[in-house]
Amino acid sequence: MKITIKEIAEMAGVSRATVSKILNDYEDVSESTRKKVMDIIEQTGYRPTYTAHTLATKKSNLIGVIYAGKINASFNHPFFIEVVNSFKKTIGGLGYDLLFFSNEKFTKGEEDYLARCRYYQVDGCILINGDDIQSSILELEQSEIPCIGVDLQLTGENSGYIMTDNHKASAKAVEHLYLLGHRDIAYISGTPSSTIGNIRKEGYIHSLQTYGIPQREEWITYGDFYEESGYRAMQQLLQGERVPTAVFAASDQMAFGAIRAIREKGLSIPQDIAIIGCDDLDACRYVDPPLTTVRQDKARIGKLAARLLEDLINGETKVRSLMVEPELIVRGSCGENSGEE
């Protein structure tokens, strides 16, 4: 039978208010009384209810997790899975639990994330980037609730963000292809509304200009960061009068799709077309040939997002945004092998 705080108070011969103070670490209770109550709590296995704890501490110890977009999938992308797992491990070690919000409509109108966050009294939120950001996300960003964006540049008074240096990621990819002798380099982006895809596109274009390579508009195609869209984008590139000798895809999954399209056309990788992806998913090691990619440090992104959010929750706002350095991982899809197994 579940024991109540009233019964704990009666067994200890104190008021319920005294038991509540002890449970919430108030200092105005004598050590003898504190010990007596804590001994009874230990013997009975009493645990305070979630509601009582929230009311007493003004903290829920809940962190909302929101996928801020409307593209065809959400948390199932391998990149976000790894980031959220790292975030969960770090924020859990700080005493918080996660509450995942559905991106389905909360009412007959648009999703109202701010209302839901207030309803559940979350202490803060992590917002994962998607396309077509809803107005309700902007309302949440400007609210009193601390928020950290991953690949989402939040600028509210109680907000911050963390992301890979995506401009540099493109620069590393294009530089590598240029040094291998490629001048006909295409780019497969995210959707036209994708912030990350567009930053990487800007980096791609800037790098072409740096090396004096003319930009060809027909060699910039669009996907949605998933494999099937990369397959379709590569088919489009292969239909042109002039076919690129190298492709930089804004995600590994789109690169996987591009590899399939190239093979179906009867072409070889990297002899006919070299491929570079972005993310460094585990699967990059197992495609044939293994995929050269620009690594995003997913574990570090998740860990730093947790620490940034905790700082915002605690009113420590020395750093609001962080850029994580990308790393080129060389494998066989560009004609060389790093020896990585």
Return the DSSP state at 45.
T
CATH 3.40.50.1110 fits 166-296, yes or no: no
Name the nearest CA neighbour of 160 among 298, 325, 296, 306: 306
| Among 28-32, 45-49, 97-101, 279-283, the least confident range | 45-49
Q: What pLDDT sits at residue 134? A: 63
Encoding tokens for residue 186?
Answer: 């295409």
- Highest mean pLDDT, choosing among 7-16, 80-89, 230-239: 230-239
* Angle 296-230-151 from CA coordinates, rounded to 5°: 35
Q: What is the pTM of this model?
A: 0.79
Q: What pLDDT sits at residue 154? A: 87
Contact (CB, 8 A) for 252 and 193 = no
**What band does 132 get if pLDDT is binned at 50, 70 and 90?**
low
Helices first, then strands: H and E counts in the chain? 12, 12
* Angle 151-157-160 from CA coordinates, rounded to 5°: 25
Whose tokens are 């995003």? That residue is 296
Residue 8 CB neighbours (<10 A): 22
How far apart (Å, rounded) are the C-alpha atoms in residues 236 and 221?
A: 8
> Residue 270: pLDDT above 60?
yes
What CATH code would you report for 5-48?
A: 1.10.260.40
Residue 65 CB neighbours (<10 A): 19
The reply to whether 166-296 shares the fold of 62-163+299-324 is yes
At 141-187, the pLDDT tens digits run 888 999 999 988 888 889 999 999 999 999 999 999 999 999 999 99
**What band does 115 get if pLDDT is binned at 50, 70 and 90?**
confident
Q: What pLDDT sits at residue 42? A: 82
- Radius of gyration over alpha carbons of the chain, in Å? 26
Contact (CB, 8 A) for 163 and 151 = yes
> Residue 277: pLDDT above 90?
yes
Q: How many CA atoms lie within 13 A of 123 on its CB side?
A: 22
Encoding tokens for residue 57?
Answer: 């501490």
How far apart (Å, rounded) are the C-alpha atoms in residues 127 and 63?
A: 10
Name the nearest CA neighbour of 233 among 270, 186, 169, 201: 186
How far apart (Å, rounded) are the C-alpha atoms in residues 165 and 274?
A: 23
Strands (E), the chain: 62-68, 97-100, 124-129, 147-150, 159-164, 185-189, 220-222, 246-249, 274-279, 292-295, 321-324, 327-329
Of residues 105 and 214, the one with the higher pLDDT is: 214
Q: What pLDDT sits at residue 57? A: 55
Q: Tell me the average pLDDT across 127-137.
A: 70
Domain boundaries, the chain: 5-48, 62-163+299-324, 166-296
Contact (CB, 8 A) for 249 and 236 = no
Name the nearest CA neighbour of 236 among 257, 214, 216, 221: 221
Name the nearest CA neighbour of 202 among 159, 157, 168, 155: 168
Alpha-carbon separation of residue 119 from 54, 60, 85, 113, 116 (angstroms): 12, 11, 25, 10, 5
Q: What pLDDT sits at residue 114? A: 85
CATH 3.40.190.10 fits 62-163+299-324, yes or no: no
**SS3 call for 248:** strand
